């Protein structure tokens, strides 16, 4: 490692102060345990992502050349984000696990890192990208995909932590992570595969930034607040004060939601409310479904007639129809037969952004669902916090069950041993290899 000169700044940059804040946070036993569960969720998603068309393309790409650490992070990041059942941090609108865990895992494999050091890097990576995400302001998300733009700060911090970067080098790594930030929502127009590329590149970009900083490669310390920096370029209503707010709050990883259903997280409050109404409908006919939620959900998931499985996962209309009609949501809920069967009901779903959900977002992602039946009955359900949010979490048993489902979907015949090995990281066990046929 080549030491970078200490930073000589008249006023510490936001990036420098973020690096110091994250480094100073204490880690306790339950923090390690939570980080192990989130690592399990991310790796299980990656293994399951192999069994998809985009996953096959990514695997073919990876097999074409020697799998370097950066390419491994890119591959794992892309695979983790394919099935739309990976984690989500509400206040930042970032999926941190698909960026931070792949970068940390790829590098930790190279360095033969043990459990606590690996999990500490994961905690710190989540903290960095989620704090940046909380500061970008709501307008950023209308054009930019926060996981792609804020994610590199998390992968850079996690990788830099594993590399033992000092404060100056970490600040440089974060600076070069930020200058690589990119990722636009335009892919939603056609359902293109770019979202998976966003996660993979964010994982790879941060790892590259940290690896270079370890060799003395400098980056812009004012990448966030500078006149030609990240906030100025991409955030018309940035909230820089949120970057460093509540330094003593729990780790952002522990404030991150876990997805129980394989669709865009914006659909989950509607799904959760809809599932609670399904058993009450019986043989009555659904005349109309009204969904009241927040504006970002409409911006991303207003799609009456989805043309593909991926578009269906980004459709409030389809997911509401599926939850209320079928009483369950799984991978088959979005396939061609399901879309055809539910199209008539989906066309009867009205969606609107209304108070109080608009004002509570992004701190709370809520929805109200009203089902109007042919006998004049109205059934109502509301969720301020959907299943999987920290206020309504999956317990350890549900997390294990979800991981087992994903691993079996990914072709892992006996997933229990891998699940146990990942969770043992909380006791400082060695980092397990991924099951055969993955890499």
Residue 301: give its domain's CATH number: 3.30.1330.120
pTM (2 d.p.) = 0.94
Per-residue buried b or exposed e for 139-165, using 16+ beta carbons within 10 Å of the residue's own CB: ebbeebbbbbbbbbbbbbbbbbbbbeb
| Averaged pLDDT for residues 420-434 | 97
Residues 66 and 108 in one domain: yes
* Alpha-carbon torsion angle 326, 328, 331, 333, nearest 10: 20
- The model's pLDDT over 367-404, given as tens digits with 9 standing for 90+, comes to 999 999 999 999 999 999 999 999 999 999 999 999 99
Residues 179 and 252 reside in one and the same domain = yes
The total number of residues written for the chain in this structure? 439
Would you place residue 432 in the very low, low, confident or very high pLDDT band (cuts 50, 70, 90)?
Answer: very high
List the structure tokens of 136: 């970008």
- 325 with 423, same domain: the answer is no
Give me the pLDDT at residue 437, please. 56
48 and 170 within one domain: yes
Same domain, 45 and 74: yes
Judgement on whether residues 405 and 376 belong to the same structural domain of the protein: no
107 with 134, same domain? Answer: yes
Q: Give pLDDT, residue 231.
A: 98
Order of all β-strands in the sheet with 349-353: 349-353, 286-293, 367-373, 378-383
H or E segment and range at residue 116: helix 115-135
Burial class (CB in 10 A: 0-12, 13-18, 19+), 337: exposed
pLDDT-derived band at 153 (thresholds 50, 70, 90) equals very high
Q: Answer whether residue 9 shows pLDDT above 90.
A: no
Residue 435 within any structural domain of the chain: no
**Is 345 contained in some domain?**
yes
Domains: count for the chain: 2
Query: With contact defined as beta carbons under 8 Å apart, do 210 and 1 qualify?
Result: no
- The tens digit of pLDDT for each residue in 172-214 reads 999 999 999 999 999 998 989 999 999 999 999 999 999 999 9
Domain that holds residue 368: 265-383
Output the domain CATH number for residue 162: 1.10.4100.10
Q: Residue 109 and residue 68: Cα distance in Å, rounded?
A: 11
3-state SS, residue 40? helix
pLDDT tens digits for range 352-361: 999 999 999 9
Whether residues 404 and 346 share a domain: the answer is no
Are 322 and 234 part of one and the same domain? no
- pLDDT tens for 36-57 read 999 999 999 999 999 999 999 9
Query: pLDDT class for 414, splitting at 50, 70, 90?
Result: confident
Per the prediction, the chain carries an average pLDDT of: 96
Tell me, yes or no, whether 165 and 284 share the same domain: no
Q: How many CB atoms lie within 10 A of CB 72?
A: 22
Domain match, 226 and 103 both:
yes
Beta bridge mates, 373: 286
Q: What pLDDT, on a 0 to 100 scale, did the predictor assign at position 303?
A: 97
């Amino acid at each position: 490692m080549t030491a970078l000169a200490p930073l000589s700044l008249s006023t510490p940059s936001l990036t420098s102060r973020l690096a110091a804040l994250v480094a100073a946070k204490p880690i306790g036993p339950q923090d390690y345990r939570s980080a192990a569960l989130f690592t399990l969720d991310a790796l299980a998603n990656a293994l399951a992502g192999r069994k998809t068309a985009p996953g096959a393309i990514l695997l073919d790409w990876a097999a074409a050349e020697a799998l370097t650490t950066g390419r491994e992070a890119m591959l794992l990041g892309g695979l983790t984000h394919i099935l739309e059942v990976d984690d989500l941090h509400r206040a930042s609108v970032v999926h941190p696990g698909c960026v931070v865990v792949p970068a940390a895992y790829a590098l930790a494999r190279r360095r033969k890192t043990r459990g606590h050091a690996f999990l500490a890097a994961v905690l710190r990576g989540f903290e960095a990208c989620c704090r940046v995400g909380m500061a970008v302001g709501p307008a950023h998300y209308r054009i930019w995909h926060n996981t792609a733009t804020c994610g590199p700060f998390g992968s850079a911090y996690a990788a830099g932590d594993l590399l033992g970067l000092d404060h100056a080098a970490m600040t440089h790594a974060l600076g070069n992570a930020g200058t690589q930030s990119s990722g636009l929502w335009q892919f939603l127009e056609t359902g293109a595969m770019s979202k998976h590329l966003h996660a993979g590149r964010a994982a790879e970009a941060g790892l590259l930034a940290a690896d270079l900083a370890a060799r003395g490669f400098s980056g812009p310390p004012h990448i966030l607040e500078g006149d030609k920096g990240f906030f100025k370029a991409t955030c018309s209503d940035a909230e820089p004060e949120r970057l460093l707010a509540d330094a003593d709050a729990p780790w952002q990883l522990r404030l991150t939601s876990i997805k129980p259903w394989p669709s865009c997280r914006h659909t989950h409050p509607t799904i959760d409310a809809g599932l609670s109404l399904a058993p009450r409908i019986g043989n009555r006919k659904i005349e109309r479904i009204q969904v009241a939620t927040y504006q970002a959900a409409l911006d991303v998931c207003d799609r009456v007639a989805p043309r593909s499985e991926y578009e269906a996962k980004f459709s409030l209309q389809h997911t509401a129809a599926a939850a209320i009609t079928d009483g369950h949501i799984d991978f088959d809920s979005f396939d061609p037969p399901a879309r055809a069967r539910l199209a008539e009901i989906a066309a009867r779903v009205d969606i609107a952004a209304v108070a109080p959900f608009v004002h509570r977002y992004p701190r709370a992602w809520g929805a109200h669902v009203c089902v109007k039946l042919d006998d004049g009955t109205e059934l109502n359900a509301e969720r301020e916090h959907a299943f999987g949010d920290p206020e309504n979490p999956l317990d350890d048993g549900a997390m294990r069950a979800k991981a087992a489902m994903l691993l079996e979907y990914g072709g892992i015949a006996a997933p229990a041993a891998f699940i146990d090995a990942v969770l043992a990281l909380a006791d400082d066990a060695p980092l397990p290899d991924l099951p055969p046929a993955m890499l």
